[in-house]
Chains A and B, each alone.
Chain A
Amino acid sequence: MTIYQEVILDHAENPRNTGNIQNPTNTVIVYNPLCGDKIKMDVLIKKDRVIDVRFQGQGCAISKAASSLLTDWVKGKTKEVLKNMTKKDMMKLLKIELGPNRIKCALLPLEALQKLLI
């Protein structure tokens, strides 16, 4: 099965939740130097709940799609829920299987999110 499913390609080509948040609660930049991927992510949190999250970045289709899908999913969730998100949860969101060399592309936005919630 190809990992370039329609959902992935759609989110890679038209990523949701891009841009900046005016007065973010927190902001972070994460890198994957080997691929040259870079994601800047802003979050707005009120009463321990994610109200908004936005990202900007460059990278492969998988990292872009992962950022887009993740930022869609996290809105409205509590910090507690998001802090406990695992690699497995991230893969469920993407609905594809990735080999060991590619999985880090999908996990980069999760790394950004979890750094934002610290």
Chain B
Amino acid sequence: MLNPDTIKKDFPIFKNIPELIYLDSTATSLKPKIVIDKLREYYETYSANIYRGIYHLSERATEEYEKTREIIVSFIHAKSSEEVIFTRNTSESLNLLCYSLGEEIIKKGDEIATTIMEHHSNFVPWQQLLIKKGGKLAVIKLDKDGGLDVLHLEKYISKKTKILCLTYVSNVLGVANEIKKIIQNAKKINPSIITIVDAAQAVPHRKVDVQDLGCDFLAFSSHKMLGPTGVGVLWGRKTLLDAMPPFLYGGEMISEVHVRNTKFKETPHKFEAGTPAIAEVIALKEAVRYLEKVGLKEIENHEQKLASYAIKRLGDEFKNLHVIGPKNAENKGGIVSFYFKKYHPHDVAQILSEKNICVRAGNHCAMPLHEELNLTATVRASFYLYNTQSDVDALIDGLHDVSRILK
């Protein structure tokens, strides 16, 4: 059993701010000491650029950097390190796909399918590309239970659909979509469809196996999974990556440059122009090791337990509060979004903040979903491995204070 009280001790921020109730890991996670130490280790003992130096420090940095790539390979069950590209974040991973793949394959009249519950980063790039190219964005809506309308995929996907891009876990509803089944069904309708999964809210919280999912691309961020900020990962099938042109040009991604032409390196280096976030990539592997040591199944169960407890108390104790999303989602992550009829989410979050409780208020970069639900904003509490049941209790007490203060 995962013991969050023990886990808290591994996160220095709780020593510095013992009263902190952090319920916003969906926005970004806190960092364990081993990750912070690893960043420091790079800067203090082998701070050098990677690949180019023929001296010990650079070789050590290169080894440490590439070791992270190998660790990611086994973490998500990729076939080889050539399939794992480091970017700045999930948004950049998805934009890379939009520019390098979308620009190439989308022609006038083509379609891209996505869902109404996407984060803006997996919605806006495709929407803008289609505006430019004169194509159509098909948006998979919610069913009457509040999950994705996956039983009627043929309404959204046809032979004209070149790309299906969808989120694994909604950053608002917390619901985990049945990615494997959706991809299988989409490929039945159109075998050549390319499938892209935004796994930013999945990889930190559950075991993700890219080969089992059957997708073509998958993107996630380091900073949401206990790792440093400034690093994202894009996994893709090698055959597809080989066929794609580079996204950014510059240092480290070329093999030969002449006055009239340039030859690029092979993937993944072809997609990693310029000096990357070296320290951050190096430290990311400590985050992966930490997650694996605790166990992703344990983390998933722990979050579900906290979410169920929170949903129950919210339902039992607040008459004018509504939790959004499927009520009985079996496959729900540790995300609970809600709103009061009478109080603005910003006022709720502000009063909670005065009690050191950090929640998110707003549309959580998912405006199309809020529009669909006819809401301008919601309050979101999200849980991770360091959250305890007493954190949920503090949230509930805080919400009672909100009702008292705002009446």
Q: Which residues of A contact B (CB under 8 A)?
A: 2-4, 9, 13, 34-36, 59-62, 102, 105
Contacts and interface: CB of A to CB of B under 8 A. Distances in A.
A35 B407 contact: no
A4 B345 CA distance: 14
Contact of A61 (B347, B363, B376, B377): B347
Contacts of B180: none
A36 B407 CA distance: 21
B377 A35 contact: yes
A105 B346 contact: yes
B376 A36 contact: yes
B354 interface: yes
Given A13-B407, A60-B344, A3 B350 contact: yes
A9 B405 contact: yes
Contacts of B351: 2, 4
Contacts of A4: 347, 350-351, 405-406
B147 interface: no
A113 B351 CA distance: 28
10 contacts: A2-B405, A3-B350, A4-B351, A9-B405, A34-B377, A36-B363, A36-B376, A60-B345, A61-B343, A61-B406
B406 A9 contact: yes
Interface string B341-381: 00111110011001000000011000000000000110000
A91 to B, nearest CB: 16
A62 B347 contact: yes
Counting chain B residues whose Cβ lies within 8 A of the other chain, the interface size class is 10 to 19
Given A35-B346, A36-B377, A61-B406, 10 more contacts: A3-B350, A4-B405, A9-B405, A9-B407, A35-B362, A36-B376, A59-B344, A60-B345, A62-B347, A102-B350
A35 B362 CA distance: 6
Contacts of B407: 9, 13
Contacts, number: 39
Interface in B287-301: none
A36 B339 CA distance: 13
A60 B354 CA distance: 16
B350, B363, B406, most chain A CB atoms within 10 A: B350
Contacts of B350: 3-4, 62, 102
Contacts of B363: 34, 36
A4 B346 CA distance: 12
Nearest to A4: B405
By Cβ-Cβ distance, the 7 closest A-B pairs, closest first, are: A36-B376, A60-B344, A60-B346, A61-B347, A60-B347, A36-B377, A4-B405
A103 B46 CA distance: 43
A31 B363 CA distance: 15
Contacts of B377: 34-36
A34 B406 contact: no
Given A4-B351, A62-B347, A35 B376 contact: yes
A36 B347 CA distance: 13
Nearest to B362: A34
Contacts of A102: 346, 350
B384 to A, nearest CB: 22
Nearest to B353: A99
Nearest to B346: A60
A2 B354 contact: yes
A106 B344 CA distance: 14
B363 to A, nearest CB: 7
Interface string B373-400: 0001100000000000000000000000
A59 B344 CA distance: 7
A53 to B, nearest CB: 23
A50 B345 CA distance: 34
A2 B343 CA distance: 17
Nearest to A13: B407
